[in-house]
Chains A and B, each alone.
Chain A
Amino acid sequence: MSRSKFVSLFKSSPLYDFLIPFQRAPNQWVARYIIIVFAIIVRCAVGLGPYSGQNTPPMFGDFEAQRHWMEITTQLPISKWYFYDLQYWGLDYPPLTAFHSWLLGKFGSWTDVSWFALDVSRGLETDDLKSYMRITALLSELLIYIPAVLMYTRWMGRYYNKASPIDQTIIAAAILYQPSLIIIDHGHFQYNSVMLGLSLFAIVNLLENNYALCSIFFVLALCFKQMALYYAPIFFFYLLSVCIFPFSKMNLLRLVSIGVSVISTFVLIFLPFVYKGGFGQIIQILIRVFPFDRGIFEDKVANFWCATNVIIKYRNTFTQNQLKKLSLLLTLAGISPASITIFLKPSKTLFTWCLASCSLAFYLFSFQVHEKSILLPLMPITLLLNEVDPDVISMVCWIANIALFSMWPLLKRDQLSLQYFVLGILSNWLMGNLSWIRMYLRMAKVPIYARELAMPVLPHNLFWRIVIISSYTLASLLHILDYIVEPPKQLPHLWVISNVVLSFGCFMLFWCWANYKIIHKATFKVKAK
């Protein structure tokens, strides 16, 4: 496809219809305002719904965990943060999450002291508290994730796909209206957008060749949620590669600057703990953050271990230690294609692809994965909406839908089914994936425009067409069964397990396809030279 002339792949989408009236240069700020403000409005509306663990004493859910962390960080000295009553939602994310909680807790206490009073506030559920927590999640996303997405699409528009500013805005909107992140952060309640946004800032800085800033942002992401490790190999190999290759002109200064910024950021973040509580603090934080004794998987999650557990009962066949080694081996094998490629060929066009493949491999094969962790691979995958190939767009839309589907059991438990379906329809419809419905509406005399039918929703390849259509069919079938039929008594988790197996199959196929694309792109470039 020619790079010189960008044709928006979303040309037949409602998003395009909405934003194209603002394409004149003096109005483009309006388009950006619209997508940002509506992104927040949608998140606000989702936030009106329930959150995880609402009205379920004694442990409640993730919402209570976040609130509890605000409570302990504001009420206790820093040296007790990682030690206090670990049975009740002990802090198990790295220090930056703790600082973030401390800040929000301080602001919250300024509003209402009772929200974060030590111990007595456990399980507190008032409307105002809920609104406050929702607003903090919104603000965190508004300040970190949303600008990062806009910066990324702007860079892509300038140097990669040559999209016009209005097309960049449209692509950014397609990324911002992805349902999975919205429903987890603002429905279920977590602060994933902070970590994803910090990683995205790292990516943007890497694209801009600001290596030191890139590594600082990445360390910040790591220190917010350890799950950012899913991205680490790619960042590491890319940065290493641009420093040491070519050997003749090894850029030692660059290597040193990256090293210094990484180490100093870590030191700065851990310093308050060491200063107040000695080095034992670091060990405790590490124990809390990497809970290797919690088993290979906890809930039902669409990864390799849980899906194949149907056939091989891992917990009975292997010991915990064997399982650790096994999963380490498989994970290493899974991330190697992307890591090796990016090491040998550190190209910016490959970077997002490799991130996608590597983080998906972590999700599929590593130890102790949550169903929400799909958000990590999903972030670089949705960034691929910047590609100029309609087949890629179709694949990305497909896997984004499957990712949302894979979280269905969790969301159903949270009573977020309404939000699940509405957001799923909204994002697909905005991107034009539902335009084919209009064909049938033509009979009902709803006026229709030719270009609305232009976009191919499915890839050209027959194999993928079959895969996508059959996976959608199975998924809808499962939803229907889930709604009308109780699972059989001896298999109470049948629908959940089927969901896991189906999603795992799709993720696995997507991972293979991503690796194929990476290798294809890497070698194709060499030939072109």
Chain B
Amino acid sequence: MSTQYNFSLWNIWVASTLLKILLFPAYYSTDFDVHRNWLSITKLLPLNKWYLENTSEWTLDYPPFFAYFEWFLSLFVPTSVSEDGCISLVAKGNFGMPTVIFQRSTVIVSEIVLFMSLQYYVNRSSNLKEKKRNFVVASSIVLSPGLFMVDHIHFQYNGFLMGILILSIVNAKLGNYLQCGFWFATLLCFKHIFLYIAPCYFVYLLSAYCLNPQAKFPTTISDLFNYVKWKNLFKLALVVLGVFAAAFGPFIYYGQLHIVFQRLFPFSRGLTHAYWAPNIWAIYSLIDRVLIQVALRVPGSAPILSLIFKQLDLEKLETANTLTRGLVGDVEFFVLPNIQPNHTFLLTLFYQSLSLVPLFLSPTFERFIGSMTLCAWASFLFGWHVHEKAIMLVIIPFTFLIPRDRKLLPLYETLTASGYISLFPLLFGSAEWLFKALLTFVWFVIFSNSFNEVCDFSSTLSRRVFILDRLNFLYRVGLIPLSCVIQLLDIQSRNFKVLQRFEFLRLMAYSTYCAIGVISSWNMFSWLYFLDDSLWEGREAKQKAH
């Protein structure tokens, strides 16, 4: 077949941009006003006031590069837009369509970084087969319904940040460790949520770039000296520190570093976000809810529960038994032990470091991406106050692994299906429901088909368990009735008082059902990561084996 494929993302860019322009009148969240406020802060105030300003509750709480980025955008605000109310330091923004058009366009324009970095990734493929695969990977990321929902409707700048992440990933693949480090440091100074995956970058760059693989494991001081490539280490440190200096330097100069950090890491927030992200804590909260009901309804169960968990205060339980509770961010557990930030921190660190050990021992690109995925996953599952949007941080690195082996495909599908559907409650209006549902559905059809086409067959014969695949499939199909039924109940809630009382149950259904998918695919992935070495050998080693 002499069909000439087109490996340019240009067409996809044009089509998706046109679609995104049609989304201009769609719903936007408070994040829109947040970014508008930041535009005003950076435009109207001098640098040393940026992190002090607090007229609006949406204070600047992203790292300095993002503030510089907002300042850069504010240079392009036309007068008609700033007169519209875009540029004003007020508690709550009062603006019209021109501001919406301007801000939404900046998202679209900044997302070009994502397209360019992915095009770079496709262009650097070594042969036609790989190019085909990489093209599928690239197009699946740029068309991701997650980006559509979070960036272009809900309003954020993730596409552009993911573009920088991908730049550093591509450079890691090509062996340009310095650039890889440079881009990641830059990324950290744009949005500190990427700290989730910082450990694997640290270990990977250290092990692959700064340590000598030929030297034997250090036992004496001189061994240790030979074991480290000092020149590389200094180069890397210089680059990374340089980036941080560029970001934080001005604030150090003004003596505001501690203020900036207070803004960046507010530990006053609750364990779960208003809507539970589909992670361990969603399941944990669910169990707590169920146990409250058990303690109240089943006679004689309260003493047993007190014996196992903690002393129950039945009066407190009665007041806790309103299902609307929990819409408020701060969650207190009544039966199960309460969770403190350091618990979540330790859990996250534990699971992250598990994935770092193999990476340290054999720093291949594949393992690097694998551990990046696992690091993000661990933070997502166990972290403190995790947003559902953070699932994108798991999905995007994972995508780069799929073409390696078909074994990964079912768990990728489960992850993306549950992850993207868990984003649905972000857009709660009825107008966008069909849009988000159809976009997710068609993305799924296109890419499960395309990945199936381009993936390698499993190198190790059939460790796939047939029953598990079926279960997986059933789970994914179950998401369709889930989202339809919840939407129907939402619509019907105006007619039935009962349904209004159970509003929180619907969100809980989303987060717990999706949590099952996210957790089980995490289990499968960890299994493969730790036990199936053939997946994570370098490409050369894999070719040699054949």
Can you name the residue of chain B whose Cβ is closest to the Cβ of A27? B449
Question: How far is B352's CA from A209's CA once the two chains are assembled, in angstroms?
Answer: 68
Counting CB contacts under 8 A, is B29 at the interface?
Answer: no
Does any Cβ of B come within 8 Å of A429's Cβ? yes
Q: Cβ of B446 < 8 Å from any Cβ of A?
A: yes
Contact of A40 with B495 in the complex, beta carbons under 8 Å: no
State the CA gap A41–B5 with chains docked (Å).
Answer: 25
Contacts of A14 in B (CB 8 A): 11, 14-15
Cβ–Cβ contact B6 & A449, under 8 A: yes
CB contacts under 8 Å to A, within B441-463, are 441-442, 445-446, 449-450, 453
Asked if A127 is an interface residue, CB under 8 A from chain B, the answer is yes
A33 contacts partner chain B, Cβ-Cβ < 8 Å: yes
Quick check: which of B16-24, B34-42, B524-532 contacts chain A, the rest being far away?
B16-24
Contact of A418 among B8, B19, B24, B438 (CB under 8 A): B24
What does the 1/0 interface line of A102-136 toward B look like (CB < 8 Å)?
00000000011100000000000001101110110
* In the complex with contacts A418-B21, A422-B21, A422-B22, A131-B442 CB distance below 8 A: no
- Check if B26 sits within 8 Å of A135, measured CB to CB: no
Give the nearest-CB partner of A14 in chain B: B11
B22 and A112 contact, CB distance less than 8 A: no
Chain B residue numbers with a CB within 8 Å of A38 are: 442
Cβ-based interface call for B468 (8 A): no
A49: which B residues are within 8 A, CB to CB? 22, 25
Q: B11 near A17 (CB under 8 angstroms)? A: yes
B14 contacts which chain A residues (CB < 8 A)? 14, 429
Please determine whether B4 and A449 come into contact, CB atoms closer than 8 angstroms.
Answer: yes
| A30 partner residues in chain B, CB cutoff 8 A | 445-446, 449
Please give me the residue from chain A that is nearest to B26 by CB atom. A48
For the complex, what is the distance from the CA of A132 to the CA of B434, rounded to whole Å?
11
Closest-CB distance, B297 to chain A (whole angstroms): 34
Interface mask (A155-172 → B, CB under 8 Å = 1, otherwise 0): 000000000000000000
A13, closest chain B residue (CB):
B11
Q: In the complex, what residue of chain A is closest to B153 when comparing beta carbons?
A: A48
Nearest residue (CB) in B for A33 is: B445
The interface-forming segment of A18-26, A398-406, A502-510 is A18-26
Whether A446 pairs with B8 at a CB distance below 8 angstroms is yes
* Residue in A27, A40, A44, A138 whose Cβ sees the most chain B Cβ within 10 Å: A44
Distance of A22 Cα from B445 Cα, bound (Å): 12
Considering the chains assembled together, what is the distance between the CA atoms of A128 and B14 in angstroms?
A: 31
- Distance between Cα atoms of A347 and B248 in the complex (Å): 77
Q: How many residues of B contact A (CB 8 A)?
A: 37
Q: Mark A440-466, 1 if CB is under 8 A from B, else 0.
A: 000000110101000000000000000
Q: Given that A30-B446, A138-B434 are contacting pairs, would A42 and B8 also be in contact in the complex, using a CB cutoff of 8 Å?
A: no
Residues from chain B with Cβ under 8 Å of A422 in the complex: 18, 21-22
Contact A128 B491 (CB under 8 A): yes
Please indicate the chain A residues that have their CB under 8 angstroms from the CB of B19 in the complex.
41-42, 45
Kindly list chain B residues whose C-beta atoms are within 8 Å of the C-beta of A41: 19, 435, 438-439, 442
Interface residue B430 (Cβ < 8 Å from any Cβ of A)? yes
Is residue B497 contacting chain A, with contact meaning CB distance below 8 A?
no
Residue numbers in A under 8 Å from B494 (CB-CB): 111-112
Interface membership of B431, Cβ < 8 A: yes
Complex partner residue of B442 from A34, A111, A113, CB under 8 angstroms:
A34
Residue pair B21, A128 in contact (C-beta under 8 Å):
no
- CB neighbours (8 Å) of A132 from chain B are 430
Tell me if B433 and A426 are in contact (CB < 8 A). no
Q: Which A residues are in CB contact (< 8 Å) with B22?
A: 42, 45-46, 48-49, 418-419, 422
CA distance A135 to B8 in the complex (A): 35
Taking the closest CB of chain A, its distance from the CB of B77, in whole angstroms, is: 20
Interface membership of B432, Cβ < 8 A: yes
> Is B341 interfacial (CB-CB < 8 Å)?
no
Asked if B10 is at the interface of the complex by the 8 Å CB criterion, the answer is yes
Interface residue tally for chain A (C-beta within 8 Å)? 45
**Interface 0/1 of B194-222, CB less than 8 Å to A:** 00000000000000000000000000000
Complex Cα–Cα for A33 and B441 (A):
10
Task: Tell yes or no: B338 within 8 A of A by CB.
Answer: no
Q: How far, in angstroms, from A46 to B18 measured CA to CA in the complex? A: 11
> What CA separation (Å) do A447 and B119 show in the bound complex?
10
Give the residues in chain A near B439, CB-CB below 8 Å: 41
Find chain B residues with CB under 8 A from A45 CB. Answer: 19, 22-23, 26, 435
Among residues 305 to 348 in chain B, which have CB atoms less than 8 Å away from a CB atom of chain A? none
B450: chain A residues within 8 A (beta carbon): 21
Total A-B pairs in contact (CB under 8 Å)?
Answer: 102
**Alpha-carbon separation in the docked complex, A37 to B5 (Å):** 23
Tell which of B6, B445, B492 touches A34, judged by Cβ atoms closer than 8 Å: B445
Closest to A447 in B: B8
User: In the complex, are the beta carbons of B431 and A130 less than 8 A apart?
Assistant: yes
Q: Please report the C-alpha to C-alpha distance between residue A264 and residue B411 in the assembled complex, in whole angstroms.
A: 57
B25 partner residues in chain A, CB cutoff 8 A:
48-50, 418
Among candidates B18, B24, B446, residue contacting A425 with C-beta atoms closer than 8 Å: B18
The chain A residue sitting closest to B136, CB to CB, is: A21
CA distance A47 to B435 in the complex (A): 10
Contacts of A419 in B (CB 8 A): 22
Q: How far is the CA of A30 from the CA of B448 in the complex (A)?
A: 10
B3 located at the interface, meaning its Cβ lies under 8 Å from any Cβ of chain A in the complex: yes
Q: Does B478 sit at the interface, judged by CB under 8 A? A: no
Task: Tell me the nearest residue of chain B to A134, going by C-beta.
Answer: B431
Residues of A with C-beta under 8 A to B431: 47-48, 127, 130-131, 134
A135 — nearest CB in chain B belongs to which residue? B434
List, in ascending order, chain A residues with CB within 8 A of B430's CB.
127-128, 131-132
Query: Contact string, B470-514, partner A, CB cutoff 8 A, digits 1/0?
Result: 000000000000000000000110110000000000000000000
From A449, which residue of chain B is reached at the shortest CB distance?
B6
Q: Say yes or no for B429: interface residue by CB 8 A criterion.
A: yes
Known contacts A21-B5, A23-B3; is-contact A44 B442 (Cβ 8 Å): no
In the docked arrangement, what's the CA distance between A47 and B22, Å? 9
Contacts of A451 in B (CB 8 A): 4
Please measure, in the bound complex, the distance between the C-alpha atom of A22 and the C-alpha atom of B6, giving whole angstroms: 13
Residues on A with beta carbons closer than 8 Å to the beta carbon of B15: 14, 18, 426, 429-430
Among A41, A135, A419, the one with the most B-chain Cβ atoms within 10 Å of its Cβ is: A41
A429 to B441, CA, bound (A): 25
Q: Which chain A residues (178-226) contact chain B, with CB distance < 8 Å? A: none
Which residues does chain B contribute within 8 Å of A40, judged by CB atoms? 434, 438
CA distance A20 to B6 in the complex (A): 10
Residue of A nearest to B5 (CB): A21
Rounded to whole angstroms, the CA-CA distance of A493 and B307 in the bound complex is 84
CA distance A209 to B156 in the complex (A): 56
Report Cα–Cα, A48/B21, bound state, in Å.
11
Contact with A along B25-59 (1 / 0, CB 8 A): 11000000000000000000000000000000000
Q: Give the CA-CA distance A111 to B445 in the complex, in Å.
A: 31
Residue-by-residue, is B418-439 near A (CB-CB < 8 Å gives 1, otherwise 0)? Answer: 0000000000011111110011
How far, in whole Å, are A111 and B14 apart by their CA atoms in the complex? 38
- Interfacial chain A residues near B18, Cβ < 8 Å: 422, 425-426, 429
B121 to A: closest C-beta gap in Å: 14
Q: Are A18 and B24 in contact (CB under 8 A)?
A: no
A113 CB to nearest B CB, Å: 8
A44 and B4: CB pair below 8 A? no
Question: Nearest CB to that of A17 among chain B residues?
Answer: B6
Residues from chain B with a CB closer than 8 A to the CB of A446 are 8, 10
- The answer to whether A33 touches B3 (Cβ under 8 A) is no
Q: Chain A residues near B449 (CB, 8 Å)?
A: 22, 27, 30
Q: What are 21 contact pairs spanning A and B, CB under 8 A?
A: A14-B15, A18-B15, A21-B450, A27-B449, A37-B442, A42-B22, A44-B438, A46-B22, A48-B23, A48-B435, A50-B25, A111-B492, A112-B494, A128-B491, A131-B430, A131-B431, A134-B431, A418-B25, A422-B18, A449-B8, A451-B4
* Known pairs A21-B453, A46-B22, A112-B495 / 20 extra A-B pairs, C-beta < 8 Å: A17-B6, A18-B11, A23-B3, A33-B445, A34-B442, A37-B438, A41-B19, A41-B438, A44-B438, A45-B23, A48-B26, A111-B492, A127-B429, A128-B430, A128-B491, A130-B431, A418-B25, A422-B22, A425-B18, A447-B8
List of 4 A-B pairs having minimum Cβ-Cβ separation, nearest first: A45-B22, A131-B430, A37-B442, A44-B435
